[in-house]
Structure 1
Amino acid sequence: MVGNILITGGASGLGRATAAAVAKAGGRPLLIDVNAPDGDADHIPADLSDREQAERAVRELAGRAGGLDGVVTAAGIDACGRLEDVPADAWDRVIQVNLLGTASVVRAALPYLRESRGKVVTCASTLGIRAVSDATAYCAAKFGVVGFTRALAAELAGQVGVTLLIPGGMHTNFFEGRDEQYKPGPDARLNQPEDVAATIVFALSQPQGCEVRELVVCPSTETSWP
């Protein structure tokens, strides 16, 4: 059993798939998302760009569940375009949600995770290890998540398990609303989020003292890996 697992971005995409996988494994998913999820899962709405909202949601969900055994930071947004063309507020928000929101949630969860000797799985991207044009905000945020997670693993060694997930493209609504040039082409082969979620549950399910430190999970034809 994976226990009480807090999942950001749990109403859609990888977060929703992870919630389903956690429940299937006998765990209790606890969701943070600006949108309400389907069904009756434990959910607190919060904007992760607001640190106080993020921290409050973590504390409330942990209180409801009687503690946390794991955290999965699956929430993420993007703002595609050249640096001078993306509005500054939109650019900043990508950093705030993807990087600072990740740090805020993990920071707030640490007292509970230390008590349970639980695990953290952060969600970066293949664009957190390879940079491309028209993605300065997203690359900056996800490169930041990579560095944050690797430092966190060193900091929490022997106390809390830390896994860095580096996923490639998935069949989710992440690409909706983009200009066509920033959407996967008609022949793009993307992973199903359920398959990626299974790897997250694998990492969460490892016994204490055994950690999956990093996972790259991408389609076999992923263009941003290696």
Structure 2
Amino acid sequence: MLKHGVGTPPLVGVIAGMESELSALGALRGDPRIATAVSGARPDQAEREARRLAALGCRLLISWGVAGGLHPGLTPGTLIVGTDVVEENGMRHVLVVPPIPGLRRVRLMGLDRPAMTARDKAALHAASGADAVDMESHRIARAGEAANLPVMAIRAVGDPAARALPRLAADALGVDGRPRIARVVLGLLTEPWALPALIRLKSDTDAALAALAAIATRLPGLAAKP
């Protein structure tokens, strides 16, 4: 799913997993310098969309959105920037660090599945040295390397390392990046005890989205920096 300005070649391609993450861009959604795509938290789709944005002529690709915390010191709403992203097979992709103050530099872990439990997160942190995890950055980095384009990963921490994701969250997002409300409601009918965890997850995600919105206006000028 691709959106971009008409008549002006975009400079920056922004790929996110959720529609709400793109909404954090605010007025930039209509800026012809910015092209956006949403993957619906599907890593293969993130890579395809990144390749499409590269083909549009973007000079920079940005992995944008919420990340799960792996380092115990990262709290919801912490703004982070990836120095590199590592995959489970050990493959490492170097990322460009933007000149935006207030972003904590971290190693990211790229997964093709969600890190659901605190035990999963602790194991990933120990094995990779990564401080946060997401499902898009590694795939976008692959696309950037194929197109010889710089890639940045600007994220905000949502769920912290010690907090498990509720099982219902694993399949709660549609391919359009929007919540499957009906599916979640039906799931709660059989797992009503999951409601407090879903409420906590929403609160964590809201904190991350607010942090992203606060720095979104810095994105258009980044294409000239790498």
The TM-score range, normalised by the shorter chain, is: 0.3 to 0.5
TM-score, with structure 1 as normaliser: 0.41
Select the structure with the greater relative contact order (CA < 8 A; seq sep ≥ 6): 2
Structure with bigger strand share is 2
